[in-house]
Structure 1
Amino acid sequence: MSEDQDWNKKSVKILAKKEGNTKCADCGEPDPQWASSTLGVFLCVTCCGIHRNLQDISKVKSLSMAKWEEDQIEYLQKHGNNAAKAIYEAYVPVYHYRPTHLDCHVLREQWIRAKYERKEFTKKESSDGLHNGVKEGILFKRGRDNGQYFARKFVLTLLDGTLKYFIKADAKEPKAVIKVDTINATFQPEKMKHTHGLQITYVKDNRTRNIFVYHNDGQVIVSWFNAIRAVQFHYMKVAFPIASDKEILNRLPRNFLKEGYMEKTGPKPTDAFKKRWFTLDGRRLMYFKDPLDAFAKGEVFLGSSENGYQVKPETISSTQGSLWNYGISISTPERTYLFACESETDRENWLSVFKKVISLPMNIREYAVEAKFKHRT
């Protein structure tokens, strides 16, 4: 390697340590090892892979293995992550989801394409995906009983804060009317075995319902996701006028805190343990016979430790009929629930999340949810 090339590589690595460049420009993953010589941004390996598909826009190179020319280094020096964000993220709507390195591929890809390819956020007229307060289109929805996906018309309306879906495109009456303030939407490519799979969870009559949808076009499914966030944000701004944007953003669709299998027993000593799929969404711990079930078989509300909720490890004897021996008990003011995990590591992971939840004080809305749980039991 020539002295010039050696110096150029050192220069690039010095630039990667400048403020703003120490994390991926698109997902925030620390210590990016790639850069775009045409956009002037530093990237992680995953986002770099997405940039490779923007061949007319972004030319990516390794910081350590590629040959860097002086003019490319000067370009990186003049630009960098902070300067690029000032241009390409200038007008990102407050409700628009900004993916992290923990998010799925379709969210990250569409975020990158929206920024650099479509340049959606370079002007104030950033779209929320709604036309005159309405978004309408076809999504493929999983049947509740047969597991097959069928085309269904969905209509999202800002004025009344609802998401409706219709069995047929010309149907006059919707199959379901969902209030947006009860919705959580999370991408579930692994669980649904579809790269664009979106799980929409909502509460009706204090009972949780899941619907699973996808669209073959990644831009379309992500636009629905952000449109739901937009309607929720506007709806809650009206419902809670004194709440800050940050407080409202915390209530918008978010990833589940944890999902996975545990065994659960009933309230009677003679009740057998049964394997169930558990989903922790905020303070609602739901359990299902199958991960893609439409309805939860049951739910446990996780309140705050200052209100009498407790979580602790338990030893489960072989006489209790559990195949798994690593127990967890959740005590509420009404009863104690007993669960079993497959391994010590699994139990520690669940305990860590449960303890974090109950360590937080409850807000007014959560007290209302708790009251409904107590009334139901």
Structure 2
Amino acid sequence: MAGGNERSMKALKEVWKRAENSLCADCGKPDPDWASSTLGVFICLSCSGIHRNIPSISKVKSLKMDYWDDAQVQFLAKHGNAVTKAIYEAHIPIYYYQPTYNDCQVLREQWIRAKYERKEFTELGKQLPYSDGVKEGILWKRGRDNGQFLPRKFLLSEREGCLKYFTKQDAKEPKINVKIDVINATFQPEKIGNPNGLQITYLKDNKTRNIFVYHESGKEVVDWFNAIRSVQFHYLKVAFPIASDNEIKNRLTRNFLKEGYMEKTGPKQREAFKKRWFTLDHRRLMYFKDPLVRRRCDRRAAAGSGTE
């Protein structure tokens, strides 16, 4: 028995050290030390927790602490990350955001569920809930004045190239109509105070403005996020016909590089320092009165006009 266990562990280590299995199959984190005995993928501790929540699809075990029998090791050897990815990631739309280990829980969980539970990427041309160029539904939006989240109807349209929201279900005219090419969307669960919190940033009159929303369903909010990326992608394909798909993909939604408070004074450096929330993305440095303020501070205020 002991000899059989030693053989299994030796064979397991041989499969484990293959180059294809050196990164987590789901988030890319180096040196995964867990694996799914039913899917045949090597995954990190964090992703193993998500797999554990879908036991009908994936059964996970530690590569260091759990016992693996011969049949399970042979299954891992036959599959591994490369073979399994070729099945479950065969037809990922180029605009679909594939999260890394630095991304929030809801993005990583829905990515894993989309792959293995819903099998969204196994068939070419499969109709997906974020791929048909239009999406309509209710998101909980943070109010500008009182900070309360209220249900608002949102409409995303590829044909019109815009995102709208309405204050009432039966409203004919939108409260805001934003062109899709000036939108950024990024998940901000801690800032918004909800695990499914999404920050939509856009430009209007050369000023940066924010909409803070969430949905009770993690799947629904991630579908909204990828629907925005889908509409952006197809809009930019028309606007830049000679650009490659990868070039356009790099112009879609982007995470902020850094955020946090700093003290700032006016351009004359004689004004009093004021605490401001700074946000750095790949294109600009912005500052706001606080993390959840709706619009960027006016440039005139930065010049010391006293309107801030």
TM-score bin (small chain): over 0.9
Q: How does 1:51-70 map to 2 (within 5 A)?
A: 51-70=51-70
Shift of 1:131: 7.6
- Contact 1:288/1:298, CA 8 A, preserved across alignment: no
Partner AA of 1:28 in structure 2: G
Q: Deviations over 1:223-268 (max 9, x none)?
A: 0000000000000000000111111111100101110111111112
1:20 is paired with a residue of what secondary structure? Answer: helix
Q: Does 1:137 align with 2:141?
A: no
2:191 matched to which residue of 1?
Answer: 191
Which structure exhibits the higher relative contact order, with contacts defined as CA atoms closer than 8 Å and separated by 6 or more residues? Answer: 2
Rounded Cα–Cα distance in structure 1 between residues aligned with 2:250 and 2:131:
26
2:85 matched to which residue of 1?
Answer: 85
Q: Deviations over 1:326-349 (max 9, x none)?
A: xxxxxxxxx99xxxxxxxxxxxxx
1:179 matched to which residue of 2?
Answer: 179
Shift of 1:298: 4.6
1:306 matched to which residue of 2?
Answer: none
What is the aligned length?
Answer: 301
Q: How does 1:141-180 map to 2 (within 5 A)?
A: 141-180=141-180
1:14 matched to which residue of 2?
Answer: 14
1:242 matched to which residue of 2?
Answer: 242
> Which has the larger displacement, 189-198 or 6-15?
6-15
2:283 matched to which residue of 1?
Answer: 283
Shift of 1:3: 2.6
- Contact 2:41/2:80, CA 8 A, preserved across alignment: yes
1:191 is paired with a residue of what secondary structure? Answer: helix
1:94 matched to which residue of 2?
Answer: 94
- Contact 1:286/1:298, CA 8 A, preserved across alignment: no
Q: Deviations over 1:33-85 (max 9, x none)?
A: 00000000000001000000111110100001100000000000000001011
2:4 matched to which residue of 1?
Answer: 4
Shift of 1:134: 1.5
- Contact 2:133/2:227, CA 8 A, preserved across alignment: no
Rounded Cα–Cα distance in structure 2 between residues aligned with 1:103 and 1:226:
15
Rounded Cα–Cα distance in structure 2 between residues aligned with 1:210 and 1:72:
50
2:306 matched to which residue of 1?
Answer: none
Rounded Cα–Cα distance in structure 2 between residues aligned with 1:115 and 1:218:
15
Rounded Cα–Cα distance in structure 2 between residues aligned with 1:57 and 1:133:
30
Shift of 1:273: 1.1
Shift of 1:130: 4.7
- Contact 1:16/1:22, CA 8 A, preserved across alignment: yes
- Contact 2:133/2:230, CA 8 A, preserved across alignment: no
2:293 matched to which residue of 1?
Answer: 293
- Contact 2:115/2:121, CA 8 A, preserved across alignment: yes
Computed over aligned residues only, the root mean square deviation of the Cα atoms, in angstroms, reads 1.6
Q: How does 1:365-376 map to 2 (within 5 A)?
A: none
2:264 matched to which residue of 1?
Answer: 264
Partner AA of 1:58 in structure 2: S
Moved runs in structure 1, 4+ residues, more than 3 A?
none
1:122 matched to which residue of 2?
Answer: 122
Rounded Cα–Cα distance in structure 2 between residues aligned with 1:185 and 1:155:
15
With normalisation by structure 1, the TM-score equals 0.78
2:116 is paired with a residue of what secondary structure? Answer: helix
Rounded Cα–Cα distance in structure 2 between residues aligned with 1:79 and 1:243:
36
Rounded Cα–Cα distance in structure 2 between residues aligned with 1:266 and 1:130:
44
- Contact 2:37/2:72, CA 8 A, preserved across alignment: yes
Rounded Cα–Cα distance in structure 2 between residues aligned with 1:73 and 1:131:
38
With normalisation by structure 2, the TM-score equals 0.95
Rounded Cα–Cα distance in structure 2 between residues aligned with 1:135 and 1:182:
18
1:320 matched to which residue of 2?
Answer: none
2:29 is paired with a residue of what secondary structure? Answer: coil
2:213 matched to which residue of 1?
Answer: 213
Shift of 1:128: 4.5
- Contact 2:156/2:228, CA 8 A, preserved across alignment: yes
Rounded Cα–Cα distance in structure 2 between residues aligned with 1:95 and 1:164:
21
Rounded Cα–Cα distance in structure 1 between residues aligned with 2:136 and 2:237:
23
Rounded Cα–Cα distance in structure 2 between residues aligned with 1:135 and 1:163:
9
Shift of 1:17: 1.4
Rounded Cα–Cα distance in structure 2 between residues aligned with 1:129 and 1:205:
32
Q: Does the C-alpha gap of structure 1 residues 14 and 47 become closer, same or farther in structure 2, counting only changes over 3 Å?
A: same
Q: Does the C-alpha gap of structure 1 residues 298 and 15 become closer, same or farther in structure 2, counting only changes over 3 Å?
A: farther
